[in-house]
Structures are given as C-alpha cells and as structure tokens.
Amino acid sequence: MSQRPGFPVKLNTSGGPTKGVRSTAEVSKAGVASARGSAPAGVGLDSSAVRARMVRKLAEQGVSDAAVLDAMGRMERHRFVESALVNQAYEDTSLPIGLGQTISKPNVVARMIELLRQGAAGKLGRVLEIGTGCGYQAAVLSLLATEVYSIERLKGLHEKARENLRPLRLHNVHLIFGDGMLGYPKGAPYAGIISAAGGENIPDAWLDQLAMGGRLVAPTVTAAGHQALVSMLKTPRGVERQVLEAVHFVPLKSGVA
C-alpha cells in the first residue's frame, strides 16, 4: 500500500505527493479546547456561549443532525476569518478570505455536511473536500470523519489553511495543493466528497473516486442556468441524483495558481 500524505502535502510535477511538515493530532474536545488559549485577546469569541448561539440558530434553520450541530459548536470559526472581520465570525454570512474567495455561511457548511452524512451511522470514513479555502470546513469535517483529504488549487489559500489549522493539531486532516477537478486518486475510494465550488457538470474523476454507497455533495449549474446544490449517491444500479436548493458558490476551475 502506498504511503498516504502527511500534513500538509502538495502535488509535485510528476503527480505524486511531496510530504511536508507533519504537525497534527487526533481530534478531540480536549484538543480543540487546548487551542483556545491562543484566541484573539479582547474579542471574547473563544467563549463557547458565542458558538452555542450560532448552533441554536442553525437548528432553527432546519439543521437537525446532532453530530453536525455538535461539531459546529466545537470548532472555532473566528480562527479562520480575517482579523478585521473577526466580530462577524459567528453571523450567518459568508466572508472574504482573499484571492476572490469566501468562507461559506455557517448554515451552508452545516447543511452540506448534514447531506454528506445522510444515512451514516457514526463517523464517516475517508472524505475528500474540493476547495480547502481557509480550512474551516475541513476542520469541521475532521470531527465527523476518520480522515479528511482537502485539495486547494490556489497556493495562497493552501498556505493560509495550513497556518490556520496548524494550532489545532488535527492528525486526520491532509492538505493537498493541486487541481481539485482531478480529485485525489491516491486517497480513493472516498466515503464522501464535498465541493466548495460549482461547475456546469460534476467531474467524472469525482464519481470514479467515490466509494460504492458513498455520497457526493456539490453545487452545480442546472438546466435552467442557475446554481443549485446537488446530492449524489453511488449505488450498484448507478448514481442517484437529487437537485436541492439554489446556492451561490465560486466557479469551479481547473489548474493551479
């Protein structure tokens, strides 16, 4: 069996992984709590009460998966936003993270992960995230999956996510710099694939790398020309596709930059 990438990794020109510095630890409540000591001083966003209010709002908005609500309450979103916007960290709004990208609204993150977990008993297995961004969704997923492979095509965001995640010491998160449209075959098959960018079609590579019985959640452009959330379940009879609510994500692009 080929060795899996450590934290963080990047893809070299031959397509294989190049290992970076490994500095992650098993996710636990104690591990997340230990990272709180370096929270921004004077902001008060390291208080669990702030996150609890966000979680109550998510429940009111229809998120019902107890495991997802628990993870959203445990992971500190203010660690992943720009310092000038930190006081908006727990509002239900997307925020810019640089390079024309955004951190998704808490409701969208919770909704997509809830869809990914649909029908799952306990933790998910290995999950592939397309579009690491600032690293927040990967951090939430780390509490709900045995392993998270997260790929980012923009080097600046890949580096930002690495710095954001380093203090949390998440052993089961693997960051990859590469073309997300190609997925990451070295980690396949995946119990779940989730995308933070939407294109006109779901890349064949993603479905090829999805395990039988696995679920894929991503925004995509519908026949009407609008972007909508799509949930796809891979079965022996084929792929079951469900088109859900309208969403607005950054466009899915190929290559790296």
Domain annotation covers residue 152: yes
**Which residue range forms the structural domain that includes residue 150?**
9-251
Domain annotation covers residue 2: no
- Residue 24 has a pLDDT of 32
- Residue 225 has a pLDDT of 84
CATH number at residue 145: 3.40.50.150
Task: Provide the number of structural domains found in the chain.
Answer: 1
Under DSSP, is residue 99 helix (H, G, I), strand (E, B) or coil?
coil
Contacts 24+ apart (CB under 8 A), 116-123: 116/192, 116/194, 116/215, 116/217, 117/65, 117/67, 117/68, 117/144, 117/192, 118/215, 118/231, 119/215, 120/191
- Residue 119 has a pLDDT of 82
Domain annotation covers residue 32: yes
Mean pLDDT split into 10-residue runs, the chain, 257 residues = 46 36 34 38 66 97 97 96 94 94 96 95 95 98 98 98 97 98 98 95 97 97 89 97 93 95
- Residue 121 has a pLDDT of 83
Domain annotation covers residue 257: no
Residues identified as active-site = 104
Domain annotation covers residue 187: yes
Domain annotation covers residue 4: no
Q: How far apart are CA 175 and CA 236, in angstroms?
A: 31
Which helix (H) or strand (E) covers residue 149, if one does?
Answer: strand 145-152
Per the CB < 8 A criterion, the answer to whether 50 and 127 are in contact is no
- Residue 45 has a pLDDT of 67
Domain annotation covers residue 3: no
Give Dmax over CA atoms of the chain in angstroms: 56
Q: How far is CA 188 from CA 76, 109, 204, in A?
A: 29, 23, 14
Per the CB < 8 A criterion, the answer to whether 126 and 147 are in contact is yes
Domain annotation covers residue 218: yes
